[in-house]
Amino acid sequence: MLKGFKDFLLRGNVVDLAVAVVMGTAFVAIVTAFSDGVINPLLALFGGSNQLGLGFQLVADKPATFVAIGPIITAALNFVIIAALLYFVLVIPANKAKSRWGSKDDALTDNELLHQIRDLLAERSAGGKHES
């Protein structure tokens, strides 16, 4: 039971996922700091004299009905920046390294494997029949 758990933990996908979560968390912190320091002040310019920021009020004189557009724009920009950073800093170099140093195994596609199984089963069933 413990051997199976150890194999699961040491499988490549689990380790890759753990690294991705840690790297993603680090990028989120950097991008959030950038957004808070640069993007939010720029969006506040478009908010005019409104203390609540960029958005609109549904009911006049009720601050609770304010629909804030600034945080939505900031979240969308955070997502795009994080995705771009991860893609250009991690994915592209990993793909280049895999193509340069990765093993060139002759892995079969699912369909090819199924065809081989079908052919082997057909041979076995044809060879197992006895004519009288």
How much of the chain is helix, strand and coil, in % rounded to 5? 75, 5, 20
Question: How far are the Cα atoms of 44, 53, 73 from residue 67, in angstroms, in the given order?
Answer: 14, 10, 12
How confident is the model over 67-87, as a mean pLDDT? 83
| Longest CA span, the chain | 98
pLDDT score recorded for residue 118? 92
Least confident stretch, 19-23, 28-32, 109-113: 19-23
Of 111, 49, 115, 37, nearest to 78 by C-alpha is: 37
How confident is the model over 9-29, as a mean pLDDT? 74
pLDDT score recorded for residue 48? 61
How confident is the model over 25-50, as a mean pLDDT? 78
Q: What's the CA gap between 102 and 96, in Å, rounded?
A: 9
pLDDT score recorded for residue 99? 80
- In a 3-state reduction of DSSP, which class is residue 74? helix
